[in-house]
Structure 1
Amino acid sequence: MSQNKINIISLGCSKNLVDSELLMKQLDANKFKVCCDEDNSDARIIIINTCGFIGDAKEESVNMILQYADAKKKGMIDILFVMGCLSERYHDELAVEIPEVDKFFGKFEWKSILKELHKEYKPDFSNMRMITTPKHFAYLKISEGCNRACSYCAIPIITGKHISRPVEEILEEAKGLAESGVKELLVIAQDLSYYGQDLYGKLMLAELVEKLSKIEGIEWIKLHYAYPTQFPYDILKVMRENPKVCRYLDIALQHSSDNVLGLMRRGINREKTVELINRIRKEVPGITLRTTMLVGHPGETEADMEDLKAFVKEMKFERLGVFPYSNEEDTYAAINYTDDIPQEVKEARKDEIMEIQMEISRQANQKRIGAKMKVIIDRKDEDFYYGRTEFDSYEVDPEVLISSQNFNLKIGQFCNVEVTDAEDYDLFAVVI
């Protein structure tokens, strides 16, 4: 057992993972031995970075805290800290309900965590991280918080208003990542569309991405979590003309029905949404669009669901996920609407959309048989190497499977392949 070892359990989204990596660097700089999500760890200090976004994520976080609280009662660990979104939002309630936790911290209270461990925050390492992803790619968070007023979302309550990071600070971090071997940057934020407006008085996403693309060693840049309202159209020219910027965009649309979009307070309607998608596809030929839909929002009718199903069939998004509505305390929806759609109905609506999407994906994949594509290799097992094209992001998107019996590849290597077969989501290929 290691008294000086800390195991960070990082739950939730990639933005949370970046926070964990920043804290890990500070702990490492203070001579702790640090690991992340290590199974059967001998660490005597556990820090859980929680998620508090929707019901399922909150339940996962609470169950993880209870698991390690039980381990502490049994003497298997010495110190248990909890941080992150759930802790930020429910600090007082959690402290009463789970007294085994030594201390609860807010989302960004890294200095307080270090102080509790009798260590100091080191400013020289403030822009550095211990990367927990495969070393050839990393997430790059360019802002915190959100200024939107979506009815269902608790993010502004948890993280506050949108705060853009300065361009120079982001570039400095990205250069450090590239020097450590990172080839692919997965640019993330709660709202990419708004980047720069608060800090520079104008939307700056396109300018930032252009500068990131000039960093030596970076070969791919992918953009995640744009907002459809006030979309920064100048990024499309960059995506079309800059070979390092992947033709991939994650843009959460949530719904198509004017009724539901109004109830959600999204600031956009169906007509404007279709115009946006058509313009993106026209200006960036061959782009892959990933989006998410939210079903079961209070006030969503059967007619609204029919509209959404027709919309998904019409737009044929290359990548799509669906979430059932979760009633979150203190949000506009929780205060002003009644969550009167049964959970089983929400789940059934989710399944309906995903069944439609599976057929869309299957047909699109069949058309890719015979296509030649560039992939980056992420991992390997006994049978296959698993890679991604520029049209796929890590963990959330399909993979390209290449026989590990016939080819000798390296993790993090780029290679050109020809697609030989396809399933509903994944592709099979050979190296050419």
Structure 2
Amino acid sequence: MRGIAIVGAGQAGLQLALGLLALGGYRVTVVSARTPEQLLAGPVLSTQAMFGPALRIERSAGLDLWAGAAPAVRDVDAVLVPEPGVRALEFTMTLDEPAQSVDQRLKMARWLELVAERGGRVEYRSLDRAGLRELAAANELTVVAVGRGGLAGIFERDAARSPFDAPQRTLAALYAHGVGAPDPSAGPRARMHAVPGVGELYLQPALTLSGPCDILLWEAVPGSPFDCFADRPDPDEQLRRMRESLRTYLPWEAELWEAAEPTDAGASLYGALTPEVRRPVARLDGGSGGSGGSGGGGAAAGGADGPAVLGIGDALVVNDPITGQGANSAARAAAAYLVAIVARRGEPFTTEWMHDTFERFWHRHARHTVEFTASMLTMPDHLQAVFGAAAEHPAVARRLANTYAEPIDYAAWLASPELTEEYLATVRSAAPGAGPVPDGPLP
């Protein structure tokens, strides 16, 4: 049996581990910093929303365990707030397949248990570089699915593919019960508010430890009035401050939060991240695994230069959550890596193979998530025009919604002003009575 070690117990790492165990023929070791009990008792980990394509991957692997309990969300109501208390450009984006959000404390705790139940080895400990070197030397392939803690910086930044060198938003999230809905009869719906120069607010129905809830993600422009959580307040204080800002900027939303309360003592999350892409291979002698592409030669991963490890998920590609790509991209990465590992059969997992595995994933998927997310953070004029057109044309709103679910479509219509104008011109000609599509930036 081929020995494969996976460091990290998030979406990418655990999905890959469970996929290998389902196939058989692999001795799988997962290293997790936290036990299932510690995960369940700890703070929230993310604001994940899984779109249809990623959910299909989970379903095919038998890992979509909460389909009957988690709210199924098809519609996202979007509102532009050009100044406090003013609603403009309202429209609804409809997904072709419903999205789903499951608290990762609940999800990863159960998946960790499944690894052990299905014959995998789980080691509960934190690793530094020395510990990772020992682990890699004892396995044919080691995949690193975490880029924090003692392993921070193990994968070098790829400057050519990294669109930013600083956080574009500060992030605050709160899981809450008792949030009202504008139209309770409409079923679960997500809500998105954009406040130019200040930030964005996203409300996502979800499933948490205590049942259905709502997640409010607060994307604040650094230094703006929304950027008010750097002292990391507890959930009650975070909710109080959020209500205060909602009353000023979104009073209609504030009314829906009057009866809200945090779901638990760990219901809040704060941080800031720099969107970036890292090189996929690290040599554990302190050097890197090559300069990218399919380089690195054909040396075995445990060659004379020290063992090499392969990154996956947000160990390599870090996206701001403004487009909800993190968990979705991780699910796709795990599925792609699983195929590549199986196709290797008995051949060694060389550094060349590692680079090629990531490069295929990068070109087929990850680059689109990076470009789409960067555009949403910077809002170039042609993308602002798309949001304006979405308020007039349901077809535009629907295509925009489904670009979140399938970011590869970004390259077909949002990647340049010319592509966008070509598409909007087609929409205009198909619906001459629907009114003009705005050509310029949003107000």
**Which category of TM-score, normalised to the shorter sequence, fits these structures?**
under 0.3
Give the structure-1-normalised TM-score.
0.24
Give the structure-2-normalised TM-score.
0.24
Q: Which has the higher contact order (CA 8 A, sep 6+)?
A: 2
